[in-house]
Structure 1
C-alpha cells in the first residue's frame, strides 16, 4: 500500500470515534449542501453531467455586492462531482455561479484530460460566454487541481489577465506533482521509452504537470504576470495527488496562501474532499468577499467522507 494510503487509512481509523464540532455557513434559503465528496459522486449517478445546484442560471445578473460572476473549474473529474457542495453555497450567498466540464477525452464524462493548451482555450471560450451573458467586465475563478493550474496558460497566452479579478486555486499542481512518488516510477519507464512520453505529453494534460516536466516553464505559474489579480491558494498537507502539497502555493505580494491545517488541526481532508470541505469552502467565500470574511469554525473533517457531526 502506498505511504499516503496508509497515512489516510490511519487517520480515518483514529478519527472514527472522534467527536467534531460543525461549521456554519450562511446559505440563504438554500438546501443544506452535502459537505462530502461522496455527495458529488451521488449527484453524478443521479444526474450524469448535470450542473451542480445553484450553477448555470444564465439569467443571473451580478449584484452590486458581488459584481463578478464566479466560474468554477474542476480537475480530473467533472463539474457535477466537484462542485456539488461549493456551487449552492456561493449561489445562496448571492453570487452568479457558472460551471463547465472542459477537456473531455477517452475517459467519457471525466474532464481535464486534453492537453493544457486545448483545455485553456475551452475555458477561455466559456469565460467569454459568461461575460457576454451577464454583462460583467470580469469573472472570479475558483479552480481545483488541474482547474487551478490550467488558467495560468489562459493568463499567459490567451489574453485572460484583464478578464479575471480573483483567482482561487485549490490543491493545484502549480509547480508540478510527484503523485506521492508514483510519478518517479513512471518517469523511469518513460526514460526508456521516449516515444511514449512524447505521445502522452501531446495528448494528456495531467502528464504535462508531472514534476520536472519542461511544460511547467511554459505554463509559468507566476502571479507577477498579473499584479492586479488577487490570488488565493488553498492546500491540505494530506493531499495525495498534488504533491508535495507546497506545489499548490504561490509567492508574491498579490498572493494569500492558506494551509487548511493551519486553520484547523483536525481537518484531515485530502485532494478529493477538498472542494467539499466546509473549512475550505469558508475560505473560498472569504477570498471572494473579503469585506465580509468570517473565520472558519473548526470541524473534524475526514478524507472523502467530510465533517463528523454535521
Structure 2
C-alpha cells in the first residue's frame, strides 16, 4: 500500500512516574533524526504526590503556551504519562488539539504495583480506582483520534500487563522484557515512528511487532 506523507505535526512526549523528560532521550533523538519536531516537558511533582488530573493541567498549559491555537499535535505518553495524557485529551480539551495519540505501557485499567503507595497519583492508578473508572466510562471518545496503545506482555510495572489494552483504537505488542526498555528497544522506536507518520485508517497495523 502506498502511503502519502502529510506535513508532520509537532510531537509532545509525556513521561511516567519518577521520570523526567530525559527518559525520552533516545526516542527523541531517533524521531528528530527522522525529521520530526519533538517536544517534552517535566511534570512536577513527578512522584505521585498530586493527582494525575493536576498533572494534566500542566500538559494543557504547555500546549497553550507552546503551539499556535490552530496547530494540531501528536501526543505520546509513557506509563503514567499515558494516563495523564488521556485526562488532557478527554477532560481538558485535548480532543480538539491532538491528531495522533500513542500510549506506551500505560495502566489504562490500573496496576497492582500502585498499591505500594498512598500518594494521590498512585491511588488513582490502582485497578478499579474511581479515577480510572470515570476516565474509562467515555474512553470511546478516543476513537475520534488516531489512538494506539503499545505494550509488552512481560511488563512487571503494569500488572496485569494487559491493563494496557484498550477496547478502542489499535494496539501493538512489542515483546520486550522490561518496562523502561519500551522507550529504547529498536522495535518500539520503529513502531512509534510508523504511527506518527501514518495516515489514519489508510495504513493497516499488525498487532504484534516481531523481532
Of 173, 191, 196, the match for 1:259: 173
Identify the residue that residue 143 of structure 2 maps to in structure 1.
Answer: 227
State the alpha-carbon separation in 2 of the partners of residues 269 and 66 from structure 1: 35
Task: Show the counterpart of 1:117.
Answer: 53
User: Does the C-alpha gap of structure 1 residues 91 and 98 become closer, same or farther in structure 2, counting only changes over 3 Å?
Assistant: same
1:154 to 63, 88, 109: 88
- TM-score, normalisation: structure 1: 0.59
Counterpart among 129, 132, 140 of residue 65 in structure 2: 129
Residue of 144, 154, 172 corresponding to 2:78? 144
- Structure 2 residues without counterparts, runs of 5 or longer: none
Matches within 5 A, 1:9-88: 65-76=6-17, 77-80=19-22, 82-88=23-29
Structure 1 residue ranges without an equivalent (≥5): 1-63, 105-109, 187-196, 262-267, 299-310
TM-score when scaled to structure 2?
A: 0.85
> What is the root-mean-square deviation of aligned Cα atoms in Å?
2.5
In the alignment, is the contact (CA less than 8 A) between 2:174 and 2:210 conserved in 1?
A: no
Report the equivalent of 2:109.
175
The answer for the alignment partner of 1:55 in structure 2 is none
CA offset at residue 100 of structure 1? 0.5
Counterpart among 118, 127, 146 of residue 211 in structure 1: 127
Higher gyration radius (CA)? 1
CA offset at residue 168 of structure 1? 0.4
SS at match of 1:84: helix
Aligned length: 201
Structure 1 residue 274 displacement after superposition? 1.0
